Structure 1
Amino acid sequence: MDIFDVDHFINVLKDDISIVRELPYDLSWSTREYYATAIRATRIKTAPVHASAKWYLENVLPVLESYGIAAIAPFSHRLAFDHLPMDVQRLRCKVNFQALVFVPHVRALGDALVSRLRYPEKKKAFGTEYLQEVTDVKGEQEAGKFAVLHLRFDKDMAAHSACDFGGGKAEKLALAKYRQTIWQGRVLNSQFTDEELRNQGRCPLTPEEIGLLLAALGFDNTTRLYLASHKVYGGAARISTLRELFPLMEDKKSLASSDERAQIKGKASLLAAVDYYVSMHSDIFISASPGNMHNALVGHRTYENLKTIRPNMALLGQLFLNKSIGWSEFQQAVVEGHQNRQGQIRLRKYKQSLYTYPAPDCMCNA
């Protein structure tokens, strides 16, 4: 299922690089099936992770010059983030933050959900005419604000973290068995105690813990909160406390009509794309744990100068281990520990991803 707008991608980059939808006739033999049947001179399988520009000049350019085509596979994280020409870095920024946009129907549904979050009184009247409903409602009332909580607390993450989530011996045994089945014991965190993991900030925040963090930061029962998540480990019961703290919390299911939900149901990439789009249009974004979507949104929102709260996982782990701490002390520690974690621009360090830390490569000094 395609989620990115190819026409937009090609158009934005037309002055920088030539992109074709299909190979010219004289190169049409270069197919997936062709490379799957034997070793081919035009296929490059040895591209190192985070390779230098020099490596491509020495290993890929000669193949291109000899055959007119080079197929590099795999190609995940195959170009370094450091010691590259500035024009290459700028092109990467343009590709990631300007050329990549979702297909129109994802953007339309995303706009409709954002409108329903900003204008909740009109939510029940919405239909499927996205553009019309968004246009009509904007002229009638003042837009409200909303925050997005990206809650990644699925069974895989819970098991892989090797943390104790308060479910007792039965839960610990069930997660350990699942961990052994999926990863055959190859989980680094398994060698540490729960206390060690929490002190190091290596445990994902539970729905209850992220609720306490938000409350300590000043969010309350009047906060409009959008829950961006897939499957929460423990189901509805696990997020019941979070819903009690934030009764105005919404998600795709509560905001979208049955017809709208049918268009994306069971399509993981589309579900994630809608959540990403809504997250990019929120006033505040917070993620309960690091991960690919967290990293992408943190970088994208930094580029757009949008407020993002980055939980201090080590501090929170230590606070939640302290069973005698009172609310006022907890709140003070949380506020102080997050003063510099609310969207301030962080300059990229050596080897860090350009897409998570776009400054200074993708941003100008003001």
Structure 2
Amino acid sequence: MMLRHGGLSLCGVLVITTLFVPLGYASTSFMLEPIISKPRHSRLFKSALRQENLSKQQSDLWTPLVNQGWKPCIASTSTSLSDSSGYIQVFLDGGLNQQRMGICDAVAVAKILNATLVIPYLEVNPVWKDASYFEDIFDVDHFMNVLKDDISIVRELPDEYTWSTREYYASAIRSTRVKNAPLHASANWYREHVSPVLESYGIAAISPFSHRLAFNNMPADIQRLRCKVNFEALTFVSHVRNLGDLLVNRLRFSDDAAGTEYLKQVVDTQGIKSAGKFVALHLRFDKDMAAHSACDFGGGKAEKKALARYRKAIWQGRVMNSRFTDEELRNQGRCPLTPEEIGLLLTALGFDNSTRLYLASHKVYGGEARISALRKLFPQIEDKKSLASAVERAQINGKASLSAAVDYYVSMHSDIFVSASPGNMHNAMVGHRTYLNLKTIRPNMALLGQLFMNKSMNWSDFQAAVVEGQRNRLGKIKIRKAKQSIYTYPVPDCVCQQD
């Protein structure tokens, strides 16, 4: 993926993508409860509206990360491919980013077993309801070409195995299906349990296949291969890249009436328009997340009851967080930031109301009423619909995975990325941007939870605490710890020290 970050001027734009539900209501048949639009942290909110940030503070925000002494290191260690032991099929659950990690693991498993990988099958997610195939999202030719020296890959099974389909495995118990792969299985587990299937039948279909390969005790070449897949082989199809480039260009070089003041900021001393900088904000605040978190988001008794009913209906009430009080959850940093809270965080860090926001998420729980406080702090909010016409968006309409792919692409081309709460998009973006040494703001969730519970705190103290608490969370390298994901923490497995 080619990124263009050079020659940018100081002024800022912030990116966040989202779809909105109807004004003031949650988007589920389980609840149509009105959501209050009054700021929950009114004391801080009123102060934030009056902030005028110093140019020095903004300058520090937009300064790219310094060289941290490492470089990507994923060169193939294979000299040649030996005869294949058979065909590996995988069926991947989840949304785009979970499937992306599954694809990387599938390549690694094929390498471990010296098998031929069939282009992975993407299951239809019950939430996103997107039936896109691998080739609808990712550039298959690029994928196969980048990995041609590492493993054997085929688009489709040969004629003698065409019976091995999703429908075939759904209809009965099959001896070629491996369905007992444990979470984070070792390389030896695959050798002991999948290799015999390949030897007997020439094919093995692994389903489910999500988080099925361990991160610890893996050979160095397997770890580097996983990163090679994630950061080099997985490139989006051309129309996703083209739409992403269109959005990035319009964010950096806005020429509409609403962007007049912004354009004044990006004209240099010679009168030549230069590119504006922007931040991608993943505003992860959908109804599933809100219900599963079991946190109190200020919607009163009606909202609490509605979320409890939803938890009961979807998870039969078996949600670990529901055992704790809201105060306990916030002290532990387990409550996602609301749109208002992420707005207060950004303001405290130095972003101001001239910063343009591009919202990157699924539907916001509570719709416009929930997001109104963020809009007041950052009035120049953009999204795909505001930046591109219906005709320009035609190829991704109704395709949740392709929409998410555009968000991913735009986020990777941003100067700064921020996520309102941990999740698959957050994890994928933190890892990818770490690999390329790009600035990422990782909110200190435990600190922010405690700060937002303090209703008497003034703005000056809040801002000082935020700046101090985020000091080492703006892109500083974190070394991967035991059991942590290589896709979120690619250092040191996928990098080398610079000479």
Answer yes or no: is 1:64 the counterpart of 2:189: no
Given the two structures, how large is their TM-score scaled by the length of structure 2? 0.68
Amino acid at match of 1:86: A
Q: Which residue of 2 aligns with 1:204?
A: 336
Amino acid at match of 1:44: V
Q: Which residue of 2 aligns with 1:189?
A: 321
Q: Which residue of 1 aligns with 2:403?
A: 271
CA contact (8 A) 1:145 1:224 kept: no
2:351 aligns with one of 198, 202, 219: 219
Question: Which secondary structure state, in structure 2, belongs to the residue aligned with residue 174 of structure 1?
Answer: helix
Answer yes or no: is 1:240 the counterpart of 2:372: yes
Amino acid at match of 2:292: H
2:453 aligns with one of 286, 296, 321: 321
Amino acid at match of 1:231: K
Structure 1 residues 179 and 33, CA gap change in structure 2 (3 angstroms): closer
Structure 1 residues 38 and 156, CA gap change in structure 2 (3 angstroms): closer
Q: Which residue of 2 aligns with 1:133?
A: none
Distance 1:246 1:74 in 2: 42
Per-residue deviation, 1:34:
3.5
Amino acid at match of 1:327: W
Answer yes or no: is 1:361 the counterpart of 2:499: no
Answer yes or no: is 1:7 the counterpart of 2:141: yes
Answer yes or no: is 1:175 the counterpart of 2:307: yes
Structure 1 residues 43 and 26, CA gap change in structure 2 (3 angstroms): same
Q: Which residue of 2 aligns with 1:136?
A: none
Per-residue deviation, 1:40:
3.0
Per-residue deviation, 1:361:
0.7
Structure 1 residues 36 and 249, CA gap change in structure 2 (3 angstroms): closer
Per-residue deviation, 1:245:
1.1
Amino acid at match of 2:308: A
Question: Which secondary structure state, in structure 1, belongs to the residue aligned with residue 153 of structure 2?
Answer: coil
Q: Which has the higher contact order (CA 8 A, sep 6+)?
A: 2
Per-residue deviation, 1:230:
1.9
Which has a greater percent of strand?
2
Answer yes or no: is 1:105 the counterpart of 2:239: yes
Q: Which residue of 1 aligns with 2:442?
A: 310
Percent identity of paired positions between Structure 1 and Structure 2? 78
Question: Structure 2: which 5+ runs fail to align?
Answer: 1-131, 260-271
Question: Which secondary structure state, in structure 2, belongs to the residue aligned with residue 301 of structure 1?
Answer: helix
Answer yes or no: is 1:47 the counterpart of 2:181: yes
Amino acid at match of 1:323: K
Distance 2:228 2:443 in 1: 28
Distance 1:216 1:284 in 2: 16
Q: Which residue of 2 aligns with 1:130?
A: none
CA contact (8 A) 1:43 1:71 kept: yes
Per-residue deviation, 1:189:
1.2
Answer yes or no: is 1:330 the counterpart of 2:465: no
Amino acid at match of 2:284: R
Answer yes or no: is 1:297 the counterpart of 2:429: yes
Per-residue deviation, 1:181:
2.0
Q: Which residue of 1 aligns with 2:391?
A: 259
Q: Which residue of 2 aligns with 1:228?
A: 360
* Cα-Cα RMSD: 1.7
Structure 1 residues 28 and 183, CA gap change in structure 2 (3 angstroms): closer
Which has a greater percent of helix?
1
**Segment drifting more, 259-268 vs 161-170:** 259-268
Distance 1:168 1:325 in 2: 23
2:211 aligns with one of 77, 83, 105: 77
Question: Which secondary structure state, in structure 2, belongs to the residue aligned with residue 10 of structure 1?
Answer: helix
Distance 2:496 2:217 in 1: 19
Structure 1 residues 63 and 183, CA gap change in structure 2 (3 angstroms): closer
Question: Which secondary structure state, in structure 2, belongs to the residue aligned with residue 35 of structure 1?
Answer: helix
Given the two structures, how large is their TM-score scaled by the length of structure 1? 0.92
Per-residue deviation, 1:65:
2.5
Distance 1:89 1:43 in 2: 26
Answer yes or no: is 1:349 the counterpart of 2:481: yes
**Segment drifting more, 34-43 vs 323-332:** 34-43
Per-residue deviation, 1:234:
1.3
Per-residue deviation, 1:305:
1.0
Amino acid at match of 1:51: A
Question: Which secondary structure state, in structure 1, belongs to the residue aligned with residue 182 of structure 2?
Answer: coil
CA contact (8 A) 2:243 2:393 kept: no
Q: Which residue of 2 aligns with 1:284?
A: 416
CA contact (8 A) 2:283 2:419 kept: yes
Distance 2:171 2:383 in 1: 46
Structure 1 residues 266 and 27, CA gap change in structure 2 (3 angstroms): closer
